[in-house]
Amino acid sequence: MDGVVRTRVGYAGGSSNNPTYYNLDGHSETIQIEYDETRVTYEQLLEVFWDSHHPTGQPYSRQYMSIVFYHNEEQRRLAIESKEREESGSGFSIVTEIIPYSEFYLAEDYHQKHYLRQESSLIQELSTIYPDISDFIESTAVTRLNGYVGGYGTPETLEKELNSLGLSEASQMRLLEIADRGLVPGCAVP
């Protein structure tokens, strides 16, 4: 999605410090999105949130709750309004919680950039570009690549930015093959 700078997978909403996948203590798995407010709005991010999952089903544990964490009163208001719109438009009760952000804990390395990790040739090349895992996680290019491999984005956006992602010609060709099998045409993410 134009304006998304980076994403990180982690845990939030619980009571303990430094949760792990095997010791969440009330935290839920979540994604932290860093974005440029001059290029994408919070409302647009909320639209993608609602379109990207099924907010009507009760999760079997808090780990997989549907939650929007807000950082200020304006975000809270917008999240509540968007939830109400979704609920009235769907005719179903939305179980998504809207709660204040308190702390985000980065998940273990192996949870980061899930879609991209399914493509060994791309991961191999990226590990030479980003030998330090924190650089890999923080990279805007890696964030974008993860979205494209996950089937998000538009073919037009991929074509425009393909040369700026730092990939070899072979990896660019692989990414185009992935795109041919199914970027979501109307989806503005990665």
pLDDT of residue 190: 46
pLDDT of residue 139: 96
**In sequence order, what are the beta bridge partners of 35?**
4
pLDDT of residue 183: 54
- Chosen CATH of 4-106 out of 1.25.40.20, 3.40.50.300, 3.30.1060.10, 2.40.128.260: 3.30.1060.10
The whole-model pTM stands at 0.85
Domain ranges of the chain: 4-106, 113-180
Per-residue pLDDT of the chain (190 residues), as tens digits, is 788 999 999 999 998 999 999 999 899 999 999 999 999 999 999 999 998 888 888 887 888 899 999 999 999 999 999 999 999 988 889 999 999 999 999 999 999 999 999 999 999 999 999 999 999 999 999 999 998 898 887 778 888 999 999 999 999 999 988 877 765 444 444 4
Q: Round to whole Å and give the CA distance between 114 and 123.
A: 11
pLDDT of residue 154: 75
Joined tokens for residue 105: 């804990």
Sheet holding 28-35, edge to edge: 28-35, 4-12, 104-106
Angle value at C-alpha 83, between 77 and 84, nearest 5 degrees: 90
Sequence letter at residue 14 = G
Joined tokens for residue 140: 């805007």
pLDDT of residue 151: 83
pLDDT of residue 177: 86
